[in-house]
Amino acid sequence: MKTDRELKELWIKFFTKNGFKRIPGYSIIPENDPTVLFTTAGMHPLVPYLLGEPHPQGDKIFDVQRCIRTNDIEEVGDESHLTLFEMLGNWTLGKCDKKAMIKLSFEFLTSPEYLNIPKERLAVTVFAGDETAPRDEEAYNAWKECGIKDIYFLPKENNWWALGGGVGPCGPDTEMFYDTGKPKCSENCSPACDCGKYLEIWNDVFMQYRVKNAGEKAVKLDRPNIDTGMGLERTVSVLNGAKSVYDSGCLKRVIDFIGTKAQVKYEESLQATRAYRIITDHLRSSVFILGDARGVVPSNVGQGYILRRFIRRSINCARNIGFDAKYFTDIADIYVDEYGQDYTDILQHREFIKEELLKEVDKFSKALEEGHKEFEKVIQGIERHKEFALKNGEKVDNKISGKAVFRLYDTFGFPFELTKELAQERGYSVDKAEFDEKFKEHQEKSRVASAGVFKGGLADDSKQSARLHTATHLMLAGLQKMFGKQVVQKGSNITPERLRFDFNLDHKMTKEELTQLEDFVNDAIKRAIPVTCQIMSLEEAKKEGAHGTFTDKYSSEVKVYTIGDVSKEICGGPHAENTSELHHFKIVKEESSSSGIRRIKAILD
């Protein structure tokens, strides 16, 4: 029996022994990135180093990173999908020795000292080759030398990795699967199937290429890299012989707790099993988002919208199994106790997490009331149409349109199942096909929002984005001079066209205050101050007074960007070389982002 913590400790022991240096995991809320809502992989914050920038910790590094992915949210509730997971990752920067990495992967998976998985239970896939790159014979031969027999050549859709949008580092990968022992679904069954026979647990990406601009052909990287990632929860379930990721460790404890309070038992039906698992998964994700240092709360946009969706979906599932949502705070305590040791921000925000969960439970109860009222309006509208149609001898269909059902879902958080149930009570059916079509459109928008590119915390690595990034440093310095050092960054979003900056403040800024802030930034621009960067230890940075809000994410060595006597911040960059490059700073809008959080939108002209 292996616990999550034991697997983490084995990972740390193994890669430390093999000369890799550990770096701390990053926040689950990306900094300055408009293209992804959450950190979806350990490599996202490391893209500048994958593109050739030297890492302060050297060229062999590893970590444990909390991640959230929402592109498969509808799959949550099956045996393997989660929205939040911990990713065990390691990187070799500047060279791509496939044979050496595959040998390390094989050793960690099969050695009795580590995971001790029989090699007969492993299957691997490698890139089959196409016009972009040749068949990966090197990876194939490396696995063959290790004694792996089940090796599958698969096409780009299965064994090629690239950043969302297709721009940036990319290359073939090799994926490792655990054979669950289930029978093959067909003669052509392979790890590419979703029949459940093969469960992916590790992935070695060989970043040998780069696409510089959309639509262009991939070119070889001057400094290739290797990026690997192992899903902690899936691997622990394999090691424990569990039938799903929910049947071992902390997730199993939450499932068991729900079972003590719910009217319907776990595995009593497929619907009940799915409800238990969705509550377990979504509340864990909610705890991590609410507990993050960057202050996300439920809302109707961005990360707040996803958080609200997690909580409200959990409430609906709780309703279906007779589980009182007031016990969500007990589940939160289970998660904080489990993960607080590794993620101290969650521990520090325990009471805030519980308060926000209960607030959202109360809000959703009121939303359900509003949804009921809106449902009645829909019925009344149909009845009026029926009356008119019958007078004109037209055929009447007792069906609620999918568009109306989706509006109840999207605007009021009214679950489809609840609308269907109420409709049946009134003698109506619902247009499920049209609802599914609308929901699919909505889901596709969510996929686009949740997948994307992370380039050093900016939308891209253009000079204009770098200049706007420098402007955020000047603006924060100005805000702290005006309102005190307690004002800190709570998030930002930078594109080549504009910046969006969130910060804590207890009031709406006046016109005079906004003018004062603009003048502060433009004065620094007029002074043509050089922007300098130094690499130093975290302790040295603190002694020199460098500002850093989220110090739990930093390595032992950090970059410190200094702008004369105006600003000194721990930051990954990139920046302008001199403030004069910014030309002129202009605030376009100041508004509320959430309770106690203000948002400024600004441009450089």
Q: What is the CATH number of the domain that holds 495?
A: 3.30.980.10
Q: What is the mean pLDDT of residues 195-219?
A: 86
For every residue of 58-117, DSSP letters joined together read: -SEEEEEEEEE--TTGGGTTSSS--SEEEEEEEEEES---HHHHHHHHHHHHH-TTTT--
Q: What is the mean pLDDT of residues 508-513?
A: 94
pLDDT above 80 (res 76):
yes
CB atoms within 10 A of CB 159: 25
Q: What pLDDT, on a 0 to 100 scale, did the predictor assign at position 1? A: 59
User: Which stretch of 81-95, 183-197, 233-247, 508-522 has the lowest confidence by average pLDDT?
Assistant: 183-197
The answer as to whether 241 is a domain residue is yes
Question: 203, 220, 245 — which closes off a domain?
Answer: 245
Render pLDDT for 484-493 as a digit per residue (tens, 0 to 9): 988 988 877 7
Q: What is the CA radius of gyration of the chain?
A: 26
Give the H/E segment covering residue 569: strand 567-570
The answer as to whether 314 is a domain residue is yes
Q: What is the mean pLDDT of residues 359-363?
A: 90
Position with higher pLDDT, 218 vs 418: 218
Q: What is the mean pLDDT of residues 255-273?
A: 95
How far apart are the C-alpha atoms of 317 and 275, rounded to whole Å? 5
Q: What pLDDT, on a 0 to 100 scale, did the predictor assign at position 452? A: 38
* Residues 219 and 236 placed together within one structural domain of the fold: yes
The answer as to whether 412 is a domain residue is yes
pLDDT tier for residue 207 given thresholds of 50, 70 and 90: very high
Q: Distance from CA of residue 96 to its chain's centroid?
A: 27
pLDDT tier for residue 549 given thresholds of 50, 70 and 90: low
User: Which stretch of 410-419, 527-536, 576-585 has the lowest confidence by average pLDDT?
Assistant: 410-419
Q: What pLDDT, on a 0 to 100 scale, did the predictor assign at position 498? A: 86
* Residues 347 and 226 placed together within one structural domain of the fold: no
User: Which stretch of 271-285, 291-305, 523-537 has the lowest confidence by average pLDDT?
Assistant: 291-305
* Residues 491 and 437 placed together within one structural domain of the fold: no
Q: What pLDDT, on a 0 to 100 scale, did the predictor assign at position 550? A: 46
The answer as to whether 437 is a domain residue is yes
* Residues 389 and 302 placed together within one structural domain of the fold: no
Cis peptide before 134 (omega within 30 of 0): no
Whole-model pTM? 0.70
CATH at 127: 3.30.930.10
pLDDT tier for residue 556 given thresholds of 50, 70 and 90: low
pLDDT above 90 (res 579):
yes
pLDDT above 80 (res 105):
yes
The answer as to whether 457 is a domain residue is no
CB atoms within 10 A of CB 317: 24
Q: What pLDDT, on a 0 to 100 scale, did the predictor assign at position 478? A: 96
Q: What is the mean pLDDT of the chain?
A: 87
pLDDT above 80 (res 573):
no
How far apart are the C-alpha atoms of 176 and 161, rounded to whole Å? 15
Q: What pLDDT, on a 0 to 100 scale, did the predictor assign at position 457? A: 44
Q: What are residue 547's DSSP bridge partners?
A: 569
The answer as to whether 458 is a domain residue is no
* Residues 415 and 542 placed together within one structural domain of the fold: no
Question: 184, 212, 245 — which closes off a domain?
Answer: 245
pLDDT above 90 (res 49):
no
Q: What are the E-state strand segments in 95-218?
A: 122-127, 151-154, 160-162, 168-179, 198-211
Give the best-scoring range by mean pLDDT among 117-121, 195-199, 426-430: 117-121
**End-to-end Cα spacing for the chain:** 61
Q: What is the share, in percent, of the chain residues with pLDDT greater than 90?
A: 51
Name the DSSP class of 368: H
* Residues 407 and 396 placed together within one structural domain of the fold: yes
pLDDT tier for residue 443 given thresholds of 50, 70 and 90: low
% helix, strand, coil for the chain, step of 5: 45, 20, 35
Residue 549 one-letter amino acid: T
Q: What pLDDT, on a 0 to 100 scale, did the predictor assign at position 460? A: 55
Position with higher pLDDT, 399 vs 42: 399
pLDDT above 50 (res 246):
yes
pLDDT above 50 (res 453):
no
Q: What is the mean pLDDT of residues 264-272?
A: 93
* Residues 331 and 429 placed together within one structural domain of the fold: no
* Residues 21 and 49 placed together within one structural domain of the fold: yes
Position with higher pLDDT, 416 vs 235: 235
* Residues 397 and 337 placed together within one structural domain of the fold: no
* Residues 267 and 192 placed together within one structural domain of the fold: no
* Residues 241 and 258 placed together within one structural domain of the fold: no
pLDDT tier for residue 565 given thresholds of 50, 70 and 90: very high
Q: What is the mean pLDDT of residues 511-530?
A: 95
CA dihedral sign, ordered 169, 174, 177, 183: positive
Q: What is the mean pLDDT of residues 288-300?
A: 84
Give the best-scoring range by mean pLDDT among 148-152, 168-172, 312-316, 446-450: 148-152
Q: What pLDDT, on a 0 to 100 scale, did the predictor assign at position 456? A: 41
Give the best-scoring range by mean pLDDT among 164-178, 357-371, 471-485: 471-485
> Domain containing 374: what range?
369-450
The answer as to whether 307 is a domain residue is yes
Q: Which residues fall within 8 angstroms of residue 532, CB to CB, at 6 or more apart?
A: 561, 562
Structural domains of the chain, count: 4
Q: Please, are residues 569 and 546 in contact by the beta-carbon 8 Å criterion?
A: yes
Q: What is the share, in percent, of the chain residues with pLDDT greater than 70?
A: 93
Question: 307, 327, 361 — which closes off a domain?
Answer: 361
Q: Please, are residues 142 and 98 in contact by the beta-carbon 8 Å criterion?
A: yes
The answer as to whether 469 is a domain residue is yes
For every residue of 14-55, DSSP letters joined together read: HHHHTTPEE-PPPPSS-SB-SS-SS--STTGGGHHHHTTPPP
* Residues 209 and 64 placed together within one structural domain of the fold: yes
Give the best-scoring range by mean pLDDT among 23-32, 412-421, 432-441: 432-441
